[in-house]
Amino acid sequence: MDISTLKGIGPKTANIFKNNGINTTNDLLSYYPFRYELIKRSNISELNDNDKIIIDGVIEKNPSLFFFNKKMNKMTFSINTGSNLLKVVIYNRGFLKSKLLIGNIVTVFGKYDKLHSTVVASDIKLSKLPNHTVIEPIYHSFGGLSSNQIRGYINNININDTVKYIPEYLCEKYKLIEKEDALKIIHNPTSMLDLKKAMAYLKYEELFLFTLKINSLRLNKKNEIGLTRDVKYSEVEKFINKLPFKLTEDQLKCVDKIYGDLTNKNRMNRLVQGDVGSGKTIVAIISLYINFLGGYQGALMAPTEVLAYQHLNNLKNIFKDYDINIDILTGSLKQKEKKDIYKKLQNKEIDIIIGTHALFSEDVLYNNLGLVITDEQHRFGVNQRGNLKNKGVTPDILYLSATPIPRTYALTIYGDMDVSSIKTMPSGRKEVLTYLKKNSEIRDVLELMLQEIKLKHQIYVIAPLIEESDKIDLENIYALEQKMSNAFGKICKIGVMHGKMDKNEKDEIMDKFNSGELSILISTTVIEVGVDVKNATTIVIFDAYRFGLSQLHQLRGRVGRNDLQSYCVLISDKESERLSIMTKTTDGFKISEEDFKLRGSGDLFGIRQSGDMNFGIADIKEDFNILLKAKEDTSYLLESGNINSYPNLISVLNNSINLD
């Protein structure tokens, strides 16, 4: 059912959901909590300073409210917990004041400041705590919807009409519970044991469908006949020799493989993986050139418009002395512009088209599409790698991925592809110097920042990551802004960016940072994706221990983008193996290998690290064994032909495998 049919969801909220990929009530049901919190009344006498606290009590003193400015305020009141009198401080909840009356019972969630008998609260509920322990699901918030709001909507869904995918005999084999129960429990667990059973079902289901798609792709691809091209390598060499730089050995190896793929009769289905900045784009460009020489049209698809335009500029520059027509097609073009492009594609007035997934919308017909390249493949997912079906073409396919993964995982996950890796960085790149600092050593950090500001370089400052509450996130970020403007406000401009801003606000800040108007950009991890400012030489990450290894590596990848010496400062009072790995290597392959080793069990109540595979509930490392089983089960289903007795599965395949 469409999400808008759900109780309590108006057009505005429905839009928020749809913008975040949740179109139906089933989609929302599979929006699983990313972790659970055990809610139990804290025993104050057992708490240490700065511990998490959950406590209820009777309000003893009416709140006093102080406004810093229009948006920011601070409220203070006190509660009697039966054993203690606690002061409660909470920011930006002034609107609750009228409900916090003397004699009312409230529950506060926050941090305990032992010395001052104070709770710095992140949340207040206007009710008493239940006597038993409650397992509360926590959802990643989005589009201004809080975890609690999301949960409310989910609980309005009638769970009795879900589609089942796992064949009965496999449910029996793994002793899985009913799907309806699994879904009910995952969103409203009453015990850890039930929760485990629910997870077992949903993880298996997810990996079952995933491997079903991968295996089906693999089977379809085996020995598929593709296009051949009559292109001499000497011509490719000529092109390479004219490039403004010398290719690295790994780049040359990739080109070699791709040349082979494009000239032989088998259809190419290849993934090139390499760290951010390793130079995958030029490999893509050379492939497009080979394809062009072979007489075919080529398409390069990027996950965002920004990246698409970046590629357009790049290609126009590199092909400026060649007679090759290059154009761009994105969703935001005007209808008339789109029609014009469609016509040119059909008449072969365009040789190379760059764009977003608009490249494969229904209206686009190619004249003789020979090569499709998908950049940042990992952001698309198996389902969306480009819909070539019904286009009557079988082009060669090349994927680029900046999330290098170890070979064993690559073989399982990308089991349907050939994989090439670019391991070495172009020469002349200086390694980003990475330092680990404690909060007490902030002076050293500020000095480094000052040095770079004086050199007219730019700096990212990443705010601590706190997933519990967006409110705390904001507080953190404003506190950081205060700190930074105390230190540097007089000598340079500072900007702030966070996920709560709308796209225009973010674009504006990014433009200012891009143009160099801002020297310091304070941000949450929203900058992780696709930001490329060459003059930024320093990134300072607060509370670095909270971030996952891959995430830290991606963040560090924002600097060191040219020949300037760059720095990454990890600030953390806690030690962690992740941080020491970060100081020891900048090699993305090593880091992802370590990441896979480190991640794993014990994640249930921790902060789940953002996975590379974007599974909803399964974890590629932790659940690798389930993945292997699912892979075997789905292989059997497909190879034996038994799949044909499961119309649900057939329709999954028909709807999602849209690669041909």
Nearest approach, Cβ of 557 to ligand ADP (angstroms)?
A: 8
CA proximity to 317, closest of 295, 285, 288: 285
- Residue 195 near residue 205 (C-beta atoms within 8 A): no
The Cα 633–Cα 165 span in angstroms is 13
The Cα 180–Cα 198 span in angstroms is 10
Coil/strand/helix, residue 22: coil
User: What are the Cα distances from residue 383, in Å, to 395, 550, 657?
Assistant: 18, 23, 6
Residue type present at position 402? A
The Cα 412–Cα 132 span in angstroms is 43
Residue 80 burial (CB < 10 Å; 0-12/13-18/19+)?
Answer: middle
Q: Which is nearer to ligand ADP, 57 or 588 (CB)?
A: 588
- Residue 47 near residue 65 (C-beta atoms within 8 A): no
Shortest-Cβ-distance residue relative to ligand ADP: 279
- Residue 256 near residue 284 (C-beta atoms within 8 A): no
- Residue 498 near residue 526 (C-beta atoms within 8 A): yes
Q: Which is nearer to ligand ADP, 240 or 446 (CB)?
A: 240
Q: Which is nearer to ligand ADP, 281 or 361 (CB)?
A: 281
Q: Which is nearer to ligand ADP, 591 or 649 (CB)?
A: 591
- Residue 280 near residue 404 (C-beta atoms within 8 A): no
3-state secondary structure 181-200: HHHHHHHCCCCHHHHHHHHH
Nearest approach, Cβ of 178 to ligand ADP (angstroms)?
A: 46
Q: Which is nearer to ligand ADP, 426 or 516 (CB)?
A: 426
Nearest approach, Cβ of 426 to ligand ADP (angstroms)?
A: 3
Kindly report the backbone phi and psi dihedral angles of residue 608, in degrees, each rounded to the nearest multiple of 5, phi listed first: -75, 130
- Helix extents (H) in 329-469: 335-346, 407-413, 442-454
The Cα 271–Cα 402 span in angstroms is 11
User: What are the Cα distances from residue 494, in Å, to 144, 240, 319, 478?
Assistant: 25, 42, 38, 12
Nearest approach, Cβ of 473 to ligand ADP (angstroms)?
A: 28
Nearest approach, Cβ of 252 to ligand ADP (angstroms)?
A: 9
What CA dihedral angle connects 134, 139, 143 and 144, to 10 degrees? Answer: 20
Coil/strand/helix, residue 523: strand
Residues of the shown chain interacting with ligand ADP in the complex, contacts defined by CB under 6 A: 245-248, 251, 274, 276-282, 402, 426
Helix 179-187 to helix 192-221 angle, to the nearest 10 degrees?
A: 120
Q: Which is nearer to ligand ADP, 427 or 504 (CB)?
A: 427
Nearest approach, Cβ of 256 to ligand ADP (angstroms)?
A: 15
Length, in residues, of the chain: 660
Nearest approach, Cβ of 282 to ligand ADP (angstroms)?
A: 5
Q: Which is nearer to ligand ADP, 277 or 616 (CB)?
A: 277
Nearest approach, Cβ of 554 to ligand ADP (angstroms)?
A: 11
The Cα 526–Cα 460 span in angstroms is 12
Q: Which is nearer to ligand ADP, 250 or 481 (CB)?
A: 250
Q: Which is nearer to ligand ADP, 426 or 616 (CB)?
A: 426
Nearest approach, Cβ of 425 to ligand ADP (angstroms)?
A: 8
Q: Which is nearer to ligand ADP, 99 or 246 (CB)?
A: 246
Q: Which is nearer to ligand ADP, 119 or 328 (CB)?
A: 328
- The radius of gyration of the chain's CA atoms, rounded to the nearest angstrom, is 27
Q: Which is nearer to ligand ADP, 553 or 599 (CB)?
A: 553
Nearest approach, Cβ of 375 to ligand ADP (angstroms)?
A: 7
Nearest approach, Cβ of 369 to ligand ADP (angstroms)?
A: 23
Q: Which is nearer to ligand ADP, 202 or 282 (CB)?
A: 282
Nearest approach, Cβ of 276 to ligand ADP (angstroms)?
A: 4
Residue type present at position 500? K
- Residue 54 near residue 39 (C-beta atoms within 8 A): yes
Nearest approach, Cβ of 429 to ligand ADP (angstroms)?
A: 8
- Residue 381 near residue 232 (C-beta atoms within 8 A): no
What CA dihedral angle connects 488, 490, 492 and 493, to 10 degrees? Answer: 100
Are β-strands 458-462 and 536-541 bridged in parallel, bridged antiparallel, or unpaired?
parallel
Q: Which is nearer to ligand ADP, 345 or 400 (CB)?
A: 400
The Cα 171–Cα 150 span in angstroms is 30
Joined tokens for residue 291: 């394809």
Q: Which is nearer to ligand ADP, 274 or 294 (CB)?
A: 274
- Residue 89 near residue 121 (C-beta atoms within 8 A): yes
Q: Which is nearer to ligand ADP, 168 or 563 (CB)?
A: 563
Nearest approach, Cβ of 405 to ligand ADP (angstroms)?
A: 15
Nearest approach, Cβ of 130 to ligand ADP (angstroms)?
A: 51
Helices vs. strands in the chain: H and E counts, helices first: 20, 20
Nearest approach, Cβ of 284 to ligand ADP (angstroms)?
A: 8
The Cα 40–Cα 10 span in angstroms is 35
Are β-strands 520-523 and 494-497 bridged in parallel, bridged antiparallel, or unpaired?
parallel
